[in-house]
Amino acid sequence: MSRHVISLSMGNRGFPLGDYFGRRMRSAGVSGLLISKDEVIRFVGECMQKVGTDGNYSNIVAHHLMTADYRGHFSHGMNRMPMYVRDIESKRTDPHGVPKIINDFQATALVDGKNGLGQVIGKFSMELAIKKAETFGIGMVSARGSNHYGICGYYSLMAAEKGLIGFTCTNASPLMVPTRSTTPSLGTNPLSLAMRTDKSDEFVLDMATTAVALGKIELAITKGQDIPEGWAIGANGKTTKNAKEAYDTMKLMPLGGAEENSGYKGYGLATLVEVLCGVLSGSHFGKNIRKWKADDRIAHLGHCFMAINPTVFAPGAGERLGQLLGELRGLPTPGDGKVLVAGDPERIAMQTVDSQGGIRYHQNQIKICDDVAQKLGVPPLKPVA
Ligand SMILES: NC(=O)c1ccc[n+]([C@@H]2O[C@H](COP(=O)([O-])OP(=O)(O)OC[C@H]3O[C@@H](n4cnc5c(N)ncnc54)[C@H](O)[C@@H]3O)[C@@H](O)[C@H]2O)c1
């Protein structure tokens, strides 16, 4: 992934603990700790290996989680690792599962993820879609037998970095209450579409089809903050601003919120994702998927991956996208803020990381990682000096 490619070497091992705690005392505080991208990969990789994942698959997961945090999606970076560890320990995910093509028809394929790691299945499937797009102009891969695969943008960008349009979506544990219901029956079902301009600018839409990803409510709890109105339904069946209550209730509102605010469109988008994921692949779908963080049975999630070669259509798509993004960003605004296009907030997050020399984590996230480190016997995260 050219712009965020970093070495996958597992460096920075074997540091003295005295040095570690000294640095931690100096840099900890309300602003948290600064951790280098390599160190995030080292830490996640070692944790995944401790629970039996081999080096290559560990690196795939570690690079993915680091990329999520680097792009500012802290809900889906290291925040997700304890869940992956737990699913392997409870034997609900097979860290050795090797994805297998079970149906290969010209520009399309069906992949059985063999209950392996979602990131491994996602990378395998998007690489296959890209290969097919290079041959046929378009490639579409449907995957089942999978687990939580992280941020959608990781996969759409894999295609965009090859000059293609990348698209992916996934189903997920039932958390969304469809408009007019109070029963969680669809996942946060995110989707992403990415495309580069001829000048390497990019549009990267990467979004849950609920008002927010559940991870943002988890993060609000971690930081002791309230959540905005319209994200979730509380115990009394009305929207709540209490993050803990929202997490306990596990009833997320669709993108748009209530019916009068067009929440039915978010509900429709989540159903669209389910058509492309569960319905097409034969995975579990809708409310039949196991509950969030339940380990009573395997997840058996479904994903969809598409790669499209814009050069088989009208010439100049990259230039036109560049013009469109420029025109949108250049629009006048009544306030100080500039108009952004999807992908800009992530670009700003990455620039911040690059300028400060690492990813800044909230102290409570560090504490969670320290607990995992201690439990697994892995050296804890070492902050940037
Ligand atoms: N694997 C899963 O089950 C799962 C489930 C849900 C979400 N996720 C991931 O969680 C991450 C967060 O999802 P989210 O919906 O909370 O994202 P978000 O709301 O932070 O951002 C959604 C999109 O809006 C764009 N955006 C943000 N502010 C903007 C602005 N002012 N102007 C224009 N565009 C703007 C972003 O670039 C992004 O493309 C995503 O990476 C998603 O793939 C994964």
Q: Which fold has domain 212-251?
A: Wheat Germ Agglutinin (Isolectin 2); domain 1 (3.30.60)
Alpha carbon of 208 to ligand 1 centroid (Å): 6
Enumerate the domain spans of the chain.
Answer: 30-90+351-384, 98-206+262-342, 212-251
Kindly calculate the radius of gyration of the chain based on its CA atoms and give it in whole angstroms. 21
Q: 294 φ, ψ to 5°?
A: -80, 145
Largest Cα–Cα distance in the chain?
A: 61
Alpha carbon of 77 to ligand 1 centroid (Å): 13
Ligand 1 in reach of 213 Cβ (< 6 A)? yes
Q: Out of 87, 156, 207, 210, give the residue to mutate to test ligand 1, the one with the largest number of ligand atoms within 8 Å of its CB.
A: 207
Residues 30-90+351-384, CATH architecture? Orthogonal Bundle (1.10)
| Identical fold between 98-206+262-342 and 212-251 | no
Alpha carbon of 194 to ligand 1 centroid (Å): 13
Q: Which fold has domain 98-206+262-342?
A: Ribosomal Protein S8; Chain: A, domain 1 (3.30.1370)
pTM for this prediction: 0.91
Ligand 1 in reach of 82 Cβ (< 6 A)? no
Ligand 1 in reach of 172 Cβ (< 6 A)? yes
Alpha carbon of 105 to ligand 1 centroid (Å): 32
What DSSP letter does each residue of 13-45 carry, written as one string? Answer: -S--HHHHHHHHHHH-STT-EEE-HHHHHHHHH
What per-residue confidence (pLDDT) applies to 241? 95
What per-residue confidence (pLDDT) applies to 295? 85
Average confidence (pLDDT) per 10 residues, the chain, 385 residues: 31 28 38 94 98 97 98 95 96 98 98 98 98 98 98 98 98 97 96 97 97 88 91 93 95 95 97 98 98 91 98 98 98 95 98 97 94 98 94
What per-residue confidence (pLDDT) applies to 30? 46
Ligand 1 in reach of 346 Cβ (< 6 A)? yes
Q: Is 245 helix (H, G, I), strand (E, B) or coil?
A: helix
What per-residue confidence (pLDDT) applies to 54? 95
The string of pLDDT tens digits covering residues 364-383 is 999 999 999 999 999 999 99
